[in-house]
Amino acid sequence: MGWSCLVTGAGGFLGRRIVRLLVEEKELKEIRALDKTFRPESREEFSKLQKKTKLTMLEGDILDESCLKTACQDVTVVIHTASIVDVFGVIHRESIMNVNVKGTQLLLEACVHASVPVFIYTSTLEVAGPNSYKEVIQNGHEDQPLENMWSAPYPNSKQLAEKAVLAANGWTLKNGGTLYTCALRPMYIYGEGGPFLSATVNEALHNMGVLPSVGKFSTVNPVYVGNVAWAHILALRALRDPRKAPSVRGQFYYISDDTPHQSYDGLNYTLSKEFGLYLNSSWSLPLFLMYWIGFLLEVVSFLLSPIYTYRPPFNRHTVTLSNSTFTFSYKKAQRDLAYKPLYSWEEARQKTVEWVGSLVDRHKETLKPKTQ
């Protein structure tokens, strides 16, 4: 009879790539793509993919219980990527906690009600830290007791949601079966359509080609979006395989690839330099000073909070996040999920550079004088 898969956040940066890989899976009878709204480019891509397998687009809110129950009906696997990603504290805390935590809990309950046996959660590296720019973590692994200590809403919400997902492993389903779960913690994700890279390039194009500095003192191992999507496919295969499943159930995995370890600024430069974009070489404040200025900005924000909502341009958390040595190995995923990157660094770089080129071309088009 085949099997079916629900992908939440399917219209997003990662969700679309997962759907693209899912259509190649054997005996898959239906993909349900759930998102609050689908942009025209997502609709166009999914309509083309429908020629390979049945693909149903569902527009609905992750906090709508009736929507989730309908979406989960007769589904074999749920891949939950939907979340509010906000590392800079722009979005109200309550909104982030509702979508990321409550939405995940409601989806888990919907899976129990609809007897969905497999649940894969897209977590984040940020649930582990970094907590201090002075602490060096190189080639970290899952056995290290790392936990983000910041109260910032995004890492806090993802931490609580991941714990809920892993705690749900072994729940009894309505039909008497068992729910099996796992979580994937990708590094910073880059690639075609990446929202952070897009914002960085567009800012540079409007600033004489100067790339904004987002992490000069960092050492990280970014991961290509296609490899993160591939890890989700391997996770669902493993949880559906009676031989592999016992070692995967209730586990979390760091997902990285063979992208060279570098700073965030270095990655942005590597992916855009051939279009004349460059890093600002002017002097910048020492890191410790930036950290304490961030603290003072937090104090100002707190003091103003009764009368005015002030969101500082940076704080101690963002300074730490953007300037730490924080890299992780994918050996556990390699062992349990048979994961190895689907795309090499050279392929990932080439594909991303071509996409950056399209952003540059689009910008040039907007600058052309309009003819009568």
Which positions are catalytic? 158
**Phi, psi dihedral angles at 65 (to 5 degrees):** -60, -40
Distance CA 326, CA 162 (A): 20
Instruction: Measure the CA angle with vertex 167, ends 155 and 4; round to 5°.
Output: 95
Distance CA 353, CA 36 (A): 30
Distances in Å between the Cα of 360 and the Cα atoms of 80, 193, 199, 272, 357 are: 33, 13, 12, 9, 5
Inter-residue contact 4 to 74 (CB < 8 Å)? yes
Residues 6+ apart with CB under 8 A from 314: 88, 290, 294, 297
Distance CA 335, CA 337 (A): 6
Distance CA 15, CA 35 (A): 9
